[in-house]
Amino acid sequence: MAAAIVTVAMTASEAAAQDPQLGVQPNLPESTVPVIGDGRSTAAKLCIGCHVIDNASNGIPAADVPSFASIADRPVQSVDALSIWLTAPHLPMPDPHLTRKEIRDLAGYIFSLRRAP
């Protein structure tokens, strides 16, 4: 029985390797787990000009612009709240036109900077 399972798994894996589209599962729900490293990469590309994006200083932030750690430390902050906030940018923050995955990952990265109360 175990050999049959391994054979099926290898066959599916080989098929996906031959045709990358077979690995796409459009009927499965999108993951809701943020990829922290991807969120940090997005922050480094899009946010570093105005925000301090990590706990180490990346320079002087723009006036009156909170660091990501201070955003994460807000009392009722959550990944969901950050995701909603990122979907409705506000002045002076420009609209970065993020995908749902980028929003989820960036929100997860920001929240990962939360310091213990």
CA distances from 59 to 19, 50, 52, 116 (A): 45, 9, 7, 24
Residue 60 has pLDDT above 80, yes or no: no
Residue 22 has pLDDT above 60, yes or no: no
Mean pLDDT of 67-80: 93
Residue 9 has pLDDT above 70, yes or no: no
Output 1 or 38, whichever has higher pLDDT. 38
Burial category of 52 from C-beta neighbours within 10 Å (exposed 0-12, middle 13-18, buried 19 and up): buried
Please report, for the chain, the start and end positions of each structural domain, with discontinuous segments joined by +: 36-112
Percent of the chain at pLDDT above 90? Answer: 41
Tens digit of each residue's pLDDT (9 = 90 or more) over 35-46 = 999 999 999 999
The residues, any chain, with a CB within 8 Å of residue 32's CB and separated by 6 or more, are 104
Tens digit of each residue's pLDDT (9 = 90 or more) over 82-103 = 999 998 877 788 888 899 999 9
In terms of CATH, what superfamily is 36-112? Cytochrome c-like domain (1.10.760.10)
pTM given for the model: 0.69
Asked if 110 and 39 count as a contact pair (C-beta separation under 8 A), the reply is: yes
